């Protein structure tokens, strides 16, 4: 006959469970202590923030309003009366990752708790988590990323070192996670680059120049509305170049338009396609990149009744017409116009030109009006990526843009190119300058033969 366990045996079971639980807790605590001690001085604040975020999330979510109460009736098979209302608390699930700059928190959206609600709660989360700033973005449907920043990676300058360049891809820089960011270039005929003076527009254009200059499949038209020495040494790599002479600028754009018309008439015979991007630019059919820095210099209409004012006004109108035509019609024949200006508002760049540009980039802006003019009205829904937040000198070289393959807007740290590097590349590649009109004539002769 088997005797039932004694009272002492039954009392030993919870004691063993408690002992195992205590041992597991000690192991867990010891692992965290070892990790904390082994971490360097700079990594320890990140560890503390990560633990604080992870182990207090449920309480934090309730406090900042990131919780949803679901009310429902009991199922028909339940013994609970059908008139009873069952409530359930829904909290977004999170995963926490430590980064060099702080803590990355990936959260799942729940019901009505989406990007807007997380964005509205960002300030409160920063207070609870004891960090200077929390940035919010949507990485994919159903997933929101929060960056609890102890230090902002976008404030760390980067220097351009990549000597390769693809005309079909514009390598813009890196995002807040240090990942490369590209913007669309293939099939693009118009690009607007806006931002306050001294915040990185010219350097951004220099990077693109340095990426493409070593390629024989690219020719440049460089126009500097400032009239200063910024582009002097780069002109050696340009098919056409000008400073702030409105007559010369108009003449250069008229010549580019002649090239566009000639290409439109011969593209089928020479390339065998209707769109140059189907085969890509080449040495005999190069992508022509027209850069107009301080574009408003040439597009502003002049008010006045004297002869000189009328002459300048006529030139501005003609320049605007040519620019608009190149942007509207130049895409499939490989002509791309890049307009740089401090404010992309309608008084600086006519809206009929600006709104036809497929790509827009904005560095720091003082007003919402200027940011909206450059990036469109959608930027108002992305306060963390808004150009007004980039006015701090630490954000010189940081731009807001729509990046390829990414939803919404992305802040990008653009690399800096020293003038000496850009000038050296221009000098080393000056022998690649060709007249695209002459190349096209040679292609036609070869095709006829």
**Which DSSP category does 159 fall into?**
B
Residues 257 and 269: their CA atoms lie apart, in Å, by 20
| 310 labelled ligand-binding | no
| 403 labelled ligand-binding | no
Strand intervals (E) in 150-302: 169-174, 180-184, 190-194, 218-224, 238-242, 287-293
Residues 137 and 384: their CA atoms lie apart, in Å, by 8
Assign residue 294 a region (left: φ > 0; alpha: ψ between -120 and 50; beta: otherwise): left
The residue assigned the tokens 């803590």 is: 103
The neighbouring-strand residues paired with 401 are: 361, 410
| 376 labelled ligand-binding | no
**CB distance 211 to 218 below 8 Å:** no
Residues contacting 302, CB < 8 A, separation 6+? 309, 310, 312, 313, 316
Largest CA distance in the chain: 123
In this structure, the number of other CB atoms found within 10 A of the CB of residue 58 comes to 12
Q: What angle do CA 177, 399, 218 make, to 5 degrees?
A: 100
Tokens (6 digits) for 134: 């929390």
The string of DSSP codes covering 372-434 is HHHH-GGGGG-GGG-GGGG-SGGGTTEEEE--TT-SS-EEEEPPB--HHHHHHHHHHTGGG--
- Give all strands of the β-sheet with 169-174 in edge-to-edge order: 180-184, 169-174, 410-413, 398-401, 359-362, 190-194, 335-341, 287-293, 218-224, 238-242
| 142 labelled ligand-binding | no
Could you tell me whether strands 335-341 and 359-362 are parallel, antiparallel, or unpaired per DSSP bridges?
unpaired
With CA atoms as reference, report the closest residue to 323 among 190, 225, 170: 190
In this structure, the number of other CB atoms found within 10 A of the CB of residue 231 comes to 24
With CA atoms as reference, report the closest residue to 135 among 152, 148, 150: 148
| 196 labelled ligand-binding | yes
| 114 labelled ligand-binding | no
| 195 labelled ligand-binding | yes
| 411 labelled ligand-binding | no
The sign of the CA dihedral 211, 282, 331, 221 is positive
List, as residue ranges, the binding site: 195-202
List, as residue ranges, the binding site for ATP: 195-202
């Amino acid at each position: 006959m088997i005797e039932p366990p004694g009272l002492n045996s039954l009392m030993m079971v919870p004691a063993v469970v408690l002992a195992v639980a205590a041992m597991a807790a000690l192991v867990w605590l010891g692992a965290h202590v070892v990790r904390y001690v082994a971490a360097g001085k700079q990594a320890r604040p990140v560890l503390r923030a990560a633990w604080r975020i992870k182990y207090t999330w449920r309480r934090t979510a309730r406090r900042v309003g990131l919780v949803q109460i679901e009310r429902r009736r009991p199922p028909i098979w339940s013994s609970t009366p059908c008139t009873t209302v069952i409530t359930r608390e829904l909290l977004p699930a999170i995963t926490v990752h430590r980064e060099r700059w702080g803590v990355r928190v990936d959260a799942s959206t729940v019901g009505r708790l989406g990007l807007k609600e997380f964005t509205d709660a960002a300030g409160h989360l920063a207070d609870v988590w004891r960090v200077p700033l929390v940035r919010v973005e949507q990485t994919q449907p159903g997933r929101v990323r929060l960056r609890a920043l102890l230090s902002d990676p976008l404030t760390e300058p980067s220097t351009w070192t990549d000597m390769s360049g693809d005309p079909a891809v514009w390598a813009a820089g890196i995002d807040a996670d240090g990942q490369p960011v590209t913007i669309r270039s293939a099939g693009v005929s118009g690009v607007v680059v806006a931002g306050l003076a001294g915040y990185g527009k010219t350097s951004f254009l220099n990077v693109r120049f340095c990426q493409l200059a070593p390629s024989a499949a690219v020719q440049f038209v460089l126009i500097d509305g400032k009239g200063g020495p910024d582009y002097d040494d780069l002109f050696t790599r340009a098919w056409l170049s000008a400073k702030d002479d409105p007559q010369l600028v108009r003449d250069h754009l008229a010549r580019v338009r002649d090239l566009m018309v000639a290409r439109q008439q011969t593209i089928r015979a020479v390339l065998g396609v209707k769109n140059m991007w189907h085969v890509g630019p080449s040495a005999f059919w190069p992508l022509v990149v027209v850069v107009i820095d301080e574009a408003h210099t040439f597009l502003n209409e002049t008010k006045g009744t004297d002869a000189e004012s009328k002459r300048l006004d006529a030139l501005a109108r003609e320049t605007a017409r040519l620019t608009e035509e190149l942007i509207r019609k130049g895409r499939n024949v490989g002509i791309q116009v890049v307009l740089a200006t401090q404010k992309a508002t309608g008084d600086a760049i006519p809206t009929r030109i600006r709104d036809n540009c497929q790509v827009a980039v904005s560095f720091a802006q003082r007003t919402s009006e200027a940011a909206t003019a450059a990036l469109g009205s959608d930027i108002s829904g992305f306060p963390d990526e808004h150009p007004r937040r980039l006015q701090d000198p630490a954000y010189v070289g940081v731009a807001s843009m729509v990046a390829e393959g990414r939803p919404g807007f992305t802040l990008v740290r653009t690399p800096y190119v020293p003038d000496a590097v850009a000038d050296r590349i221009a000098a080393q590649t000056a022998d690649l300058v060709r007249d695209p009109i002459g190349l096209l004539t040679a292609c036609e002769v070869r095709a006829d033969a």
